[in-house]
């Protein structure tokens, strides 16, 4: 089947992308507006950063465990789908209620965010693992490009279209007052529809090759130890690298909407457009970057992209100084900032779309859930640390200091990726043996 090329797997990969659509819809709106909701109660960005890490604290525990549990799940509808059809609708309900909780009290908001992230982070691993369950290893860069395209189409829908609903000021049945609310229930409805699409059209693989699955049942932590004790340390260096680049990205993402509103004087509804530019670029370039990595090498394309994003965030720092250098209105430079965010998205999606396939290439079918969990363990650990440290920087020197912080960690990831020696599409999976 693999000899027929990736084209054979393209339709089902787009359908699997409906799962990524749900995450791409919720995550940018969460990052853009929850920071603002919390800031109404809390004046210090460092404390806001700690609460913004709540989702990542849940993720670092839940994603690896649920991913590994889904590896062993066997039901008539598959091993990933039972988790998806229960947890995604619950996530949608909680997400829809976030702005109402924000208007009630800080306690109500934090409680609902905890509930939302319990469901949303639990389902993330099974959603991600659907694609490598279906697509052969040599086509996973292209496949990851496709599902990242779907995720970033959702980011466009959320940050460019739904976010504008935050400026709508009217009263609707059931929803009530819509100002600073409407985008969230609208996104929740789309998440439920995407879940229905997944259930109706995606059929998971059921004829498992037992040679791909460990003969003895192993705990997640036993398998994790085996990964670290393997003679080839490439997986470790990929994980360290992604920790660094997510430290950079997650330091910027929660504050970029607020930064745009405060620096350029734009409305709340337009605040998410900076993240929207990243989504537009990522949607356009996700598939081409997957093909580029397939041709030129995953490691090479990731390292080139890390240099590019480092330069771009340094240019963003310069743009933040232009109003005081030129004495022109700050609003005059918002389009330059959005343009740089678009360029950032081009190279950011190359990093994201090709790092996952490197780990999957090392995993083999029986360990895909485990390696998916490891990816999220390291990325979410970074996302726990980053909002707080970036918040401290903002409290000390202002929002623009975050761009210097980001450049440092992107460059650090460039150097650690230089030590990776496997994970390309022609490499064989690691055969992990117990000591």
pLDDT of residue 2: 42
Element (H, E) at 177: strand 176-177
Region 128-141: mean pLDDT is: 75
The most confident of 10-14, 84-88, 321-325, by mean pLDDT: 84-88
The band of 432, judged by pLDDT with boundaries at 50, 70 and 90, is very low
How many angstroms separate the CA atoms of 92 and 72, rounded?
A: 26
**Residue pLDDT, tens place only, 159-178:** 888 888 888 888 888 888 88
- Distance in angstroms between the alpha carbons of the first and the last residue of the chain: 35
CB 87 within 8 A of CB 194: no
Q: Does residue 12 have a pLDDT over 50? A: yes
How many angstroms separate the CA atoms of 308 and 76, rounded?
A: 46
Q: Is residue 110 part of a domain?
A: yes
Region 335-344: mean pLDDT is: 92
pLDDT of residue 435: 37
Secondary structure of the chain: what % helix, strand, coil (to 5)?
A: 80, 0, 20
Residue ranges in 135-182 assigned as alpha helix (H): 140-156
Q: Does residue 45 have a pLDDT over 60? A: yes
Q: Is residue 200 part of a domain?
A: yes
Give the count of beta carbons closer than 10 Å to the beta carbon of residue 229: 11
Q: Is residue 430 part of a domain?
A: no
- Of 18-32, 137-151, 248-262, 325-339, least confident by mean pLDDT is 137-151
Q: Is residue 213 part of a domain?
A: no
> CATH code at 80?
1.20.1250.20
How many angstroms separate the CA atoms of 278 and 276, rounded?
A: 5
CB 56 within 8 A of CB 116: no
Q: Is residue 344 part of a domain?
A: yes
Tally of structural domains, the chain = 1
| Residue 8 CA: distances (Å) to CA of 2, 62, 154, 294 | 8, 33, 24, 17
Give the distance, in angstroms, between the CA of residue 173 and the centroid of all CA atoms in the same chain: 33
pLDDT of residue 227: 67
Higher pLDDT, 68 or 369: 68
Higher pLDDT, 290 or 170: 170
Q: Is residue 433 part of a domain?
A: no
Q: Does residue 334 have a pLDDT over 60? A: yes
Q: Is residue 74 part of a domain?
A: yes
Residue 143: domain span: 2-204+219-417
Pick left, alpha or beta for residue 209 (phi over 0 → left; psi -120 to 50 → alpha; otherwise beta).
beta
How many angstroms separate the CA atoms of 135 and 307, rounded?
A: 30
pLDDT of residue 109: 94
Region 116-123: mean pLDDT is: 90
CB 242 within 8 A of CB 355: yes
Average per-residue pLDDT in the chain? 82
Q: Is residue 83 part of a domain?
A: yes
């Amino acid at each position: 089947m693999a000899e027929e090329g990736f084209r054979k797997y393209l339709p089902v990969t787009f359908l699997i992308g409906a799962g990524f659509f749900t995450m791409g819809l919720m995550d940018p709106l969460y990052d853009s507006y929850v920071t603002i909701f919390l800031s109404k109660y809390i004046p210090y960005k460092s404390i806001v950063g700690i609460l913004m890490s709540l989702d990542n604290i849940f993720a670092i525990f839940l994603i690896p465990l649920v991913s590994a549990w889904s590896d062993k799940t066997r039901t008539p509808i598959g091993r990933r789908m039972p988790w998806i059809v229960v947890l995604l609708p619950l996530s949608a309900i909680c997400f829809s209620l976030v702005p109402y909780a924000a208007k009630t009290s800080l306690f109500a908001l934090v409680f609902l965010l905890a509930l939302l992230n319990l469901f949303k982070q639990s389902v993330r691993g099974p959603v991600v693992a659907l694609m490598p369950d279906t697509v052969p290893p040599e086509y996973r860069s292209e496949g990851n490009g496709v599902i990242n395209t779907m995720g970033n189409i959702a980011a466009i829908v959320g940050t460019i279209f739904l976010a504008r609903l935050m400026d709508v000021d009217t009263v609707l049945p059931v929803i009530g007052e819509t100002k600073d609310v409407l985008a969230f229930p609208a996104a929740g409805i789309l998440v439920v529809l995407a879940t229905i699409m997944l259930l109706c059209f995606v059929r998971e693989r059921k004829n498992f090759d037992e040679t791909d699955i460990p003969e003895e049942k192993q705990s997640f932590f036993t398998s994790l130890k085996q990964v670290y004790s393997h003679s080839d340390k490439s997986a470790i260096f990929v994980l360290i690298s992604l920790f660094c680049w997510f430290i950079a990205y997650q330091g910027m993402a929660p504050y970029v909407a607020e930064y745009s509103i405060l620096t350029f004087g734009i409305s709340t509804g337009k605040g998410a457009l900076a993240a929207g530019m990243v989504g537009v670029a990522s949607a356009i370039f996700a598939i081409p970057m997957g093909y580029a990595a397939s041709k030129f090498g995953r490691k090479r394309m990731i390292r080139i992209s890390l240099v590019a994003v480092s330069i771009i965030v340094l240019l963003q720092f310069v743009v933040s100084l232009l109003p005081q250098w030129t004495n022109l209105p700050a609003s005059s430079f918002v389009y330059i900032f959005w343009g740089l965010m678009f360029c950032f998205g081009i190279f950011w999606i190359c990093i994201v779309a090709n790092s996952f396939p490197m780990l999957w290439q090392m995993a083999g079918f029986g360990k895909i859930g485990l390696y998916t969990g490891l990816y999220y363990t390291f990325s979410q650990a970074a996302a726990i640390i980053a909002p707080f440290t970036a918040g401290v920087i903002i409290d000390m020197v202002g929002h623009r200091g975050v761009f210097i912080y980001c450049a440092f960690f992107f460059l650090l990831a460039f150097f650690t990726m230089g030590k990776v020696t496997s994970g390309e599409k022609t490499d064989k999976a690691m055969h992990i043996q117990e000591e």
